């Protein structure tokens, strides 16, 4: 009986780097890292692999086989390591700890990535502009800003995207899927960010403040738009007459004065309008709705500006 595993004897050495192995097949498999040999091809797509087990794992992307199941929630996985990682979402286990600050992680790659916040290491460099990145994936994504590559396509409408998560998010416009729910009112959202923004409606939280006047905002975008009232910035310009605008929507509305486009129609009389707001205001001539009331005498108005004009009579 061979007892190398007990004696820790490693008689097989790599001729390139000197690494030692107890078993010859392990040494031969390791050698392929140096030679680049990939003797195991996928029968479906032809992709080659240095190890047979890697080829078999890859085959599951074609067959859809997921032989490893979570004992808690029965979610299935193509690879055992992925199932083990998933199990930690149930157990809370975080076996990988940062040697500097002690912070723990469920995945080794997350711990290694975190370590770079201490070392400042950015080992991946864009060959075009020399920007550096802590992760290879982020560098590859960045390169697409130079190449214009959009490798992820919507199977329904063909729209192309630079990032997979953007394509997944776009798909929800077709499927109607809204995976993020508000815990307070159960409103559902397609984006997590939209759900988090919505929650501030319940909490009243306004975490974004203007550095100039101190005004508070629920959403960062609104704060940035507000800042333009101080800076005078008008980044959106009409290509026809050169007029500038603080927000893109106002520029789009303005363009309709040149094109004559009126995309909003009254369902009652068919009158057309350049803006949705104008159409809604017009509808009140049919419904009789007067949503703006005077705080002093209670008079009702269809338009806010008419109510404000009326208020001045009291002052």
What band does 10 get if pLDDT is binned at 50, 70 and 90?
A: confident
What is the Cα gyration radius of the chain?
31
Question: CA-CA distance, 112 to 249, in Å (whole number)?
Answer: 43
Q: Please give the full DSSP string across 39-67, using - where no structure is assigned.
A: -EE-TTT--EESSHHHHHHHHHHHH----
pLDDT tens sequence across 75-86? 999 889 889 999
Q: What is the pLDDT of residue 281?
A: 92
pLDDT tens sequence across 248-297? 889 999 999 999 999 999 999 999 999 998 999 999 999 999 999 999 99
Which sign does the torsion angle of CA 221, 224, 229, 234 carry?
Answer: negative
Contact 124, 135 (CB under 8 A): yes
Residue 40, number of CB atoms within 10 A of its CB: 16
**CATH architecture of the domain with range 235-315:** 2-Layer Sandwich (3.30)
Picking from 47, 82, 89, 87, the residue whose alpha carbon sits closest to that of residue 70 is 87
Contact 236, 251 (CB under 8 A): yes
* Average confidence score pLDDT of the chain: 90
5 pLDDT higher than 80: no
Question: CA-CA distance, 234 to 55, in Å (whole number)?
Answer: 55
HSE of 140, CA atoms in CB hemisphere, 13 A: 7
Opening angle at CA 211, ends 210 and 215, nearest 5: 30
Contact 124, 138 (CB under 8 A): yes
Question: CA-CA distance, 160 to 212, in Å (whole number)?
Answer: 40
HSE of 180, CA atoms in CB hemisphere, 13 A: 13
Residue 22, number of CB atoms within 10 A of its CB: 15
The neighbouring-strand residues paired with 237 are: 244
Percentage above 90 pLDDT, the chain: 61
Q: What is the pLDDT of residue 120?
A: 87
237 pLDDT higher than 90: yes
* Domain coordinates in residue numbering, the chain: 8-63, 235-315
- In CATH terms, is domain 8-63 a member of 3.30.465.10? no
149 pLDDT higher than 70: yes
Question: CA-CA distance, 78 to 63, in Å (whole number)?
Answer: 10
287: its two tokens: 């419904």
């Amino acid at each position: 009986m061979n007892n190398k595993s007990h004696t820790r004897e490693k008689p097989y050495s790599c001729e390139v780097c000197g690494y030692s192995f107890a078993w010859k097949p392990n040494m031969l498999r390791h050698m392929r890292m140096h030679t680049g040999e990939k003797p195991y091809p996928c029968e479906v797509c032809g992709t080659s692999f240095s190890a047979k087990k890697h080829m078999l794992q890859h085959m599951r992307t074609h067959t859809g086989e997921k032989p490893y199941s979570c004992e808690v929630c029965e979610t299935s996985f193509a690879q055992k390591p992925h199932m083990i990682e998933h199990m930690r979402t149930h157990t809370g286990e975080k076996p990988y700890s940062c040697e500097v600050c002690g912070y723990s992680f469920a995945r080794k790659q997350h711990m290694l990535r975190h370590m770079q916040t201490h070392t400042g290491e950015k080992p991946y460099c864009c060959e075009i502009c020399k920007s550096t990145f802590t992760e290879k994936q982020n560098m590859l994504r960045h390169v697409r800003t130079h190449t214009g590559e959009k490798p992820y396509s919507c199977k329904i409408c063909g729209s192309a995207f630079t990032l997979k998560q953007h394509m997944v998010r776009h798909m929800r416009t077709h499927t109607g899927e809204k995976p993020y729910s508000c815990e307070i009112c159960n409103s559902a959202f397609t984006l997590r960010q939209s759900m988090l923004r919505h929650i501030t409606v319940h909490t009243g939280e306004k975490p974004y403040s203007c550095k100039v006047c101190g005004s508070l905002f629920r959403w960062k975008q609104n704060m940035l738009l507000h800042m333009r009232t101080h800076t005078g910035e008008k980044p959106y310009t009409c290509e026809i007459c050169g007029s500038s605008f603080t927000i893109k929507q106002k520029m789009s509305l303005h363009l309709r004065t040149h094109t004559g486009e009126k995309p909003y129609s009254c369902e009652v009389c068919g009158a057309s309008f350049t803006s949705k707001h104008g159409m809604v205001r017009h509808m009140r001539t049919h419904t009789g709705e007067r949503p703006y009331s005077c705080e002093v005498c209670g008079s009702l108005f269809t338009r806010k500006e008419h109510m404000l004009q009326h208020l001045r009579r009291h002052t």
